[in-house]
Amino acid sequence: MQHAGSTPFPRHFDGKRFFNPDAPQARGFLDVLRWKLASRPEPSARFISDVEPSKQPSSVEDNELRVTLINHSTLLVQQIGINILTDPIWSWRASPVTWAGPRRRRMPGVRWEDLPRIDTVLVSHNHYDHLDLASLRGLADREQSQFIVPAGVARLLRSHRIGPVHELDWGESLALVRGTIHSVPALHFSARALFDRNRTLWCGYVIEAAGRVVYFAGDTGFGNHFAQIRERFGAPRLALLPIGAYQPRWFMSPVHMAPDEAVRAHQILGAETSIAIHHGTFQLGDEGIDTPKKRLCECSPDDSFLVLNNGQSVRLA
What digits encode the pLDDT tens for the residues 58-86? Answer: 999 888 999 999 999 999 999 988 999 99
In angstroms and rounded to an integer, the radius of gyration of the C-alpha atoms of the chain is: 18
Q: Where are the beta strands (DSSP E) in 80-211?
A: 82-86, 120-122, 146-150, 165-168, 172-176, 179-184, 204-209
In this predicted structure, the answer to whether residue 2 has a pLDDT above a threshold of 50 is: no
Cite the DSSP H helix spans in 83-169: 133-141, 154-159
How far is residue 161's CA from residue 180's CA, in Å, rounded to a whole number?
25
Residue 2 forms beta bridges with which residues? Answer: 173
In this predicted structure, the answer to whether residue 300 has a pLDDT above a threshold of 90 is: no
With pLDDT > 90 as the criterion, what percentage of the chain qualifies? 92
| Contact of 257 with 246, CB cutoff 8 Å | yes
pLDDT-based confidence at residue 7 (cuts at 50, 70, 90): low
How far is residue 186's CA from residue 169's CA, in Å, rounded to a whole number?
11
With pLDDT > 70 as the criterion, what percentage of the chain qualifies? 98
What was the pLDDT predicted at 38? 87
Q: pTM of the entire structure?
A: 0.96
3-class DSSP state of 17: coil
Q: Where are the domains of the chain?
A: 54-316
Q: What is the pLDDT of residues 173-186, one digit of tens each?
A: 999 988 999 999 99
Q: What angle do CA 167, 170, 176 make, to 5 degrees?
A: 55
CATH topology of domain 54-316: Metallo-beta-lactamase; Chain A (3.60.15)
| Contact of 152 with 201, CB cutoff 8 Å | yes
Question: Average model confidence (pLDDT) for the chain?
Answer: 95
